[in-house]
């Protein structure tokens, strides 16, 4: 009986010790926030460490304090990857059009090649900073029907091609999110004839609301951006927006 009581006492003691240990705070993973990041630089926090070291010295000093009272939300490498700009779809505007000649941009490629060599040269530059509104094949078919021209007749008119193609390019990179609700921009086609009105608005489509970008030209024709933000060129210097109609500048080019 005495032995049994001794056993119970031992069990009670062990339970008491366990209860005390359970209420102990967890052992720190590192001496400071900075020390933790450094220790885990090869386990997903390398970019965070680089960011901390590249920032102001006061940030490093603060995060290195062992007595710092703080809660730190530490993004890992995958979170930083999400902040990286998208990988360019092609090395240049021309390279994108060539790569997609069988995916709706065949006539645009023919138009670029039929125009002045300077057009091809410009659109082939990897460092070209520009916004290009790229009409698809169906857009060109509509244009040919409206003008009552054959494709061959259109491609043979170099002056017309140069004017029309210049009217599709803005000398700055403007993504969809950068567009204002209403703005008038100057294209590479000189003069007032080369101005282009851009309208960005929410529109009701079926059961949903969609944000559309519409273009209005100096000839009164209109176009809709079908697909936005195709990034191309060195470091994503240029952006392409596919449009459903060829942009027609002032009527004087079609008389």
pLDDT tens over the chain, length 255 residues:
666 566 556 545 555 555 555 556 778 888 888 889 899 888 888 888 888 888 878 888 898 899 988 898 888 767 666 666 778 999 999 999 999 999 999 999 999 999 999 999 999 999 999 999 999 999 999 999 998 999 999 999 999 999 999 999 999 999 999 999 999 999 999 999 999 999 999 998 888 899 999 999 999 999 999 999 999 999 999 999 999 999 999 865 544
pLDDT of residue 244: 97
Asked whether residue 86 is assigned to any structural domain, the reply reads: no
Asked whether residue 230 is assigned to any structural domain, the reply reads: yes
Would you say 95 and 124 are in contact if contact means Cβ atoms under 8 Å apart? yes
| 180 and 74 together in one domain | no
Would you say 119 and 110 are in contact if contact means Cβ atoms under 8 Å apart? no
Asked whether residue 87 is assigned to any structural domain, the reply reads: no
| 48 and 100 together in one domain | no
Whole-angstrom Cα Rg for the chain: 31
Query: Counting beta carbons within 10 angstroms of the beta carbon of residue 100, is it exposed (0 to 12), middle (13 to 18) or buried (19 or more)?
Result: buried
| 125 and 165 together in one domain | yes
| 198 and 237 together in one domain | yes
Residue 124 neighbours by CB under 8 Å, 6+ apart:
92, 93, 94, 95
Asked whether residue 88 is assigned to any structural domain, the reply reads: no
Two tokens, residue 72: 């730190």
Q: Which of 29, 61, 81 is the last residue of a domain?
A: 81
Domain that holds residue 99: 93-254
Asked whether residue 109 is assigned to any structural domain, the reply reads: yes
| 119 and 245 together in one domain | yes
3-state class of 59 per DSSP?
helix
| 243 and 171 together in one domain | yes
- From 87, 84, 74, 83, select the one nearest 44 (Cα to Cα): 74
Q: Alpha helices of the chain — where are they, by DSSP H?
A: 2-22, 33-39, 46-54, 57-63, 77-81, 93-99, 106-114, 117-123, 137-147, 151-156, 158-166
3-state class of 97 per DSSP?
helix
- Using CA atoms in the order 44, 50, 52, 54, what is the torsion angle rounded to 10 degrees? -170
**Domain count within the chain:** 2
| 97 and 77 together in one domain | no
Question: What φ, ψ does residue 221 adopt, rounded to 5°?
Answer: -75, 160
| 189 and 209 together in one domain | yes
| 53 and 150 together in one domain | no
pTM score: 0.70
Cα separation, 230 vs 92, whole angstroms:
11
| 54 and 179 together in one domain | no
| 183 and 237 together in one domain | yes
- From 199, 181, 177, select the one nearest 85 (Cα to Cα): 177
| 136 and 224 together in one domain | yes
Q: Which of 81, 116, 139 is the last residue of a domain?
A: 81
pLDDT of residue 58: 85
Asked whether residue 219 is assigned to any structural domain, the reply reads: yes
pLDDT of residue 255: 45
CATH (domain of 176): 2.30.180.10
Q: Which of 25, 46, 81 is the last residue of a domain?
A: 81
């Amino acid at each position: 009986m005495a032995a049994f009581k001794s056993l119970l006492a031992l069990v009670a003691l062990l339970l008491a010790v366990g209860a005390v240990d359970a209420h102990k705070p967890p052992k720190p993973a590192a001496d400071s926030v900075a020390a933790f990041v450094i220790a885990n630089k090869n386990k997903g926090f390398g970019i965070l460490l680089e960011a901390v070291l590249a920032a102001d010295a006061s940030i490093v000093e603060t995060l290195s304090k062992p007595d710092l009272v703080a809660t730190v939300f530490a993004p890992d490498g995958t979170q930083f990857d999400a902040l990286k700009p998208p990988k360019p779809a092609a090395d240049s505007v021309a390279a994108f059009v060539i790569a997609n000649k069988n995916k709706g941009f065949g006539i645009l490629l023919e138009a670029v090649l039929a125009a002045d060599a300077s057009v091809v040269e410009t659109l082939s530059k990897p460092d070209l900073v520009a916004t290009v509104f790229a009409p698809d094949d169906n857009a060109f078919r509509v244009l040919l029907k409206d003008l009552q021209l054959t494709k061959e007749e259109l491609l043979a008119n170099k002056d017309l091609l140069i004017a029309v193609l210049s009217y599709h390019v803005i000398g700055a990179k403007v993504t969809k999110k950068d567009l204002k609700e209403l703005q008038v921009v100057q294209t590479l086609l000189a003069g007032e004839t080369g101005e282009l009105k851009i309208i960005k608005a929410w529109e009701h489509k079926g059961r949903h609301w969609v944000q559309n970008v519409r273009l209005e030209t100096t000839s009164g024709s209109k176009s809709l951006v079908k697909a936005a933000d195709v990034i191309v060129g060195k470091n994503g210097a240029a952006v392409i927006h596919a449009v459903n109609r060829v942009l027609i500048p002032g009527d004087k080019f079609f008389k």
